[in-house]
Structure 1
Amino acid sequence: MDQMLDGAPETFVSPGDDFLPEYALFDPNGKVLESNVEGKKLETLSGIFQEDAYSLYVSRHTNADVSRYTYADGSTIIFRWHYRAEFTNPVLRDMLPPFEYLWLATFGAALVLCLLFNTLWLRRRLAAKLKLFSEVSEKIGAQELDFTIPHAGIREYDQALGAMEHMREALYSALSSQWAAQQEREAEIAALAHDLKTPLTLVGGNAELLLGEELPGSSRKMVETIMAGNDRARQYVASLLETAAGGDEAFENTSLSAMFDELGNRTMAFAETKRVCLQTHNGLEGTVSIQRDHLLRALGNVVQNAIEYTPAGGNVYLESSMAEGGWQVTVRDEGPGFSKSALHHATERLWRGDAARGTDGHNGLGLWFAAEVVKAHAGQLELDNCESGGVVTVRFC
């Protein structure tokens, strides 16, 4: 612009398309002869064509961005400019916003993208650390306590994980002590039961010898009472030894169908001696990892319990099926059913308080042992009643 007006030129010379300031050339009557703008921008330049309008505009704008020059032929040119970076290419100048605005917009967009990518990265990293909490909680919930909780690398997370580590150590110590005490108690019971076998055998043998002698009626009756009591004591000792055995049996892949058939064969003879009809239905298939002998004894206890409480001539139904996500065994008898108290306590150790289902000959270990074995196999033992009698359902996931 300074070059155009340098030396007070007498005529207007067109500056070309790359001229940055806005300009408009007017004749003495205010008609536009030439301009590089149009629309509102041209209207602004036309509005300050008159001398008084131009002076008023300059007085109101301390940092005036306009200039006015009159040539010798009477034509007047008005310039208007902006102090900002502009594209030198006129096409880009028309298509795009001012470079300063475009640069700010680009910078803002880049900043937003950086924040977005940083947020996504942080989210992924925090999610990975939060997964650690879930894994630790699952292990503690499953009582898998023989491990060390790692650090997350985030101070707040590490503080929370440290608290979980203290909890894990406390639980591990408590459960270890409980397990040791239980093992010691089981060993003591097994030792006591084993020590009782010899004197009970001697008592039973001597009583049998006495029964072989000619005894008065009252003496024979007392010896028979001794024999009956000795038999019950021996059954009790056998049950104690059975509950103490098998805890170290290894898990092995076993055919469910074959195991169920063996369960039926084992209990069929006992049902015949009680004159009870044992009806079986085998709906199992596939293989699972179980303590085979241990589980057979446990399920056998459930079946024998049902047979003992079923009157002669009655039926016991032993059924199995594949359930959603697992399998189950159901034992249904035609006895008196479980009392309200038995439904809550029959699986407790040494519980013998069910008046509805007589306790003669029972030591309160059968269903407790079965429940413990089922629990060790991640199963559930449920007691209930039906129209015909009692129902025991054993479910495995």
Structure 2
Amino acid sequence: MERIVKEKSISKVFAKYIICFCITNILFIAITIFLYGLAFNAHIMYPANYFEQKIESNRDKISKEESIDELIPDRCFYSLYDFNGNVLSGNMTNEKAKDVWQVVENNKINVGNYYYKVIPRKEDICIVAYEIKPSFVNPILNKYIPDPEMFIYIVVLIIFVVEILIFANMFKKRIKKEMKFLLETTKKIQMENLDFEVTYSRIAEINDIIKSLDIMKSELKNSLNDKWEMERIQKEQTAAMAHDIKTPLTIIKGNAELIDEGKLSDEEYKFTQNILTEVENMEGYIKTLIEIMTCDKEMKLKKKTINFDKFICEVINQAESMCVNKKISFETRRGHIPEVIEADKYALKRAIGNVISNAVEYTPIDGKIIFSVCEDSEKIVITIENSGREFTKEELTSASQKFYRGDKSRNSKSHYGMGLYISRKMIEKHGGVMVLENSDILGGAKITYYLHKR
């Protein structure tokens, strides 16, 4: 198929997202720097050396005037000492003031975040402690965000992480969107829906896989078409042969019956009966074979509106007559059912009848069969369960398959695993489901049909 979309390699797609990520970060950093500068110009924030400059501008006044409380900037600390280092006054604690004197005596200008200015006076010495860092002019902001630089670093880090998550999610969605074409193709092939044109994505690596699947799809389609055509021919030949065999069997049976009407010795009578028995077996085999051919074809159901209550009564009457010879107790449990349904009456009766017949065959003499029918909000539920041996683990998964012959069928030469298979096919053609289970009530087998009401 000709590609009508422009494709890119996954590395180019990834590089595009990386470039966008980097550009976004650069823009954000530029905006942050701009706003940072704007905050200083608009007097929202003090620059880092604001208090140092303020102290220097007031140095002469601090050194000369007696009262200096008004000359010391807010958020700065000071202490006055005599020339021997004794604390005279200030807004530092006495202990802190002594520590500051020791620092200055050791010719240090800072400890930790604080820097110290020594201002000699006539009768004493003033030492002012201050920090070199930006701060908010507004005291409330300064109280809750005492370090704007650290706050900005944290905000930048959070935004950086958020950007990574956003771009990673965008990249994931892009890849997921392009992968959708690949998943749709594989799903259709898995379902053996091979009559479709593949749709290509906009990523080269994904398209390479889709192209390989397209080639595989074409090869598989050709292979399956050949297989289906061969199977169709074989079925037609088998069906034709089955019909052809019926003619000589009819002749053999007719001749054997004519011979049987004459005077025969005991040995001749035995041989004649053997011929008639085997002819009947052959007729059963051919009938089963023809049923297989008929069931495997796309049979069109003749659905009509049928009286469901009347239909169930007919099924029950038929089932009760099947149970008479083996003295089987047939119990009916009827819940609320719809008055009418859309169905092929004869196909549905055949499906249910096959299961009841199967239940009768494997229920022991004086055993029991329970037939239940009811409805829920969406479906009609029909259940047939019988006493006797339950399904084996293998039979639960395979008993409704064509030609399956488990332990239950080995006792009957005429049983070729077709009853449950045909029933399942009929129910499926009605849009329903057949489920095989074991009965908790009777200890034997249990088969349930789930049918749509319409």
Alignment correspondent of 1:108: 157
- Check whether the contact 2:386–2:439 (CA below 8 A) recurs between aligned residues: no
Alignment correspondent of 1:96: 145
Partners of 1:162 and 1:292 lie apart in 2 by 48
Q: Structure 1's 85 and 215: CA in aligned 2 closer, same or farther, altered over 3 A?
A: same
- State whether structure 2 residue 268 is matched by structure 1 residue 216: no
- State whether structure 2 residue 318 is matched by structure 1 residue 263: no
- State whether structure 2 residue 296 is matched by structure 1 residue 241: no
- Check whether the contact 2:189–2:217 (CA below 8 A) recurs between aligned residues: yes
Aligned with 1:56 (options 90, 98, 106): 106
Using the TM superposition, give the Cα deviation of residue 71 of structure 1 relative to its aligned residue in structure 2, in angstroms: 2.9
Q: Which has the higher contact order (CA 8 A, sep 6+)?
A: 2
User: Unaligned stretches of 5+ in structure 1?
Assistant: none
- State whether structure 2 residue 332 is matched by structure 1 residue 281: yes
Using the TM superposition, give the Cα deviation of residue 68 of structure 1 relative to its aligned residue in structure 2, in angstroms: 1.7
Using the TM superposition, give the Cα deviation of residue 292 of structure 1 relative to its aligned residue in structure 2, in angstroms: 6.0
Alignment correspondent of 1:10: 64
Alignment correspondent of 1:188: 237
The letter of the residue matching 1:87 is: F
User: Unaligned stretches of 5+ in structure 2?
Assistant: 1-54
- Check whether the contact 1:254–1:290 (CA below 8 A) recurs between aligned residues: yes
Partners of 1:20 and 1:316 lie apart in 2 by 101
- Check whether the contact 1:294–1:373 (CA below 8 A) recurs between aligned residues: no
SS in 2 for 1:57: coil
Cα-to-partner distance string for 1:119-148 (whole Å, 9 max, x where unaligned): 77778888989999999998888x465578
Of 169-178 and 105-114, the range deviating more from structure 2 = 169-178
Cα-to-partner distance string for 1:235-290 (whole Å, 9 max, x where unaligned): 33222222222442357698876655443344555556x57567251446469998
Partners of 1:207 and 1:394 lie apart in 2 by 42
The letter of the residue matching 2:76 is: E
- State whether structure 2 residue 356 is matched by structure 1 residue 303: yes
SS in 1 for 2:108: helix
Partners of 1:15 and 1:369 lie apart in 2 by 104
Alignment correspondent of 1:379: 434
Q: Structure 1's 45 and 172: CA in aligned 2 closer, same or farther, altered over 3 A?
A: farther
SS in 2 for 1:58: coil
Q: Structure 1's 230 and 115: CA in aligned 2 closer, same or farther, altered over 3 A?
A: same
SS in 2 for 1:281: strand
SS in 1 for 2:299: coil
Using the TM superposition, give the Cα deviation of residue 86 of structure 1 relative to its aligned residue in structure 2, in angstroms: 2.3
Root-mean-square deviation (CA, aligned residues, Å) is 5.8
Q: Structure 1's 317 and 102: CA in aligned 2 closer, same or farther, altered over 3 A?
A: closer
Cα-to-partner distance string for 1:158-182 (whole Å, 9 max, x where unaligned): 8998999899888877776665555
Please give the residue correspondences for 1:124-273 in structure 2 after superposition, counting only pairs within 5 Å.
143=191, 145-146=193-194, 182-204=231-253, 210=258, 215-217=262-264, 227-246=276-295, 247-250=297-300, 260-268=312-320
Alignment correspondent of 1:69: 119
The number of residues matched between the two structures is 378
> Among the aligned pairs, what percent are the same residue?
19
The letter of the residue matching 1:394 is: I
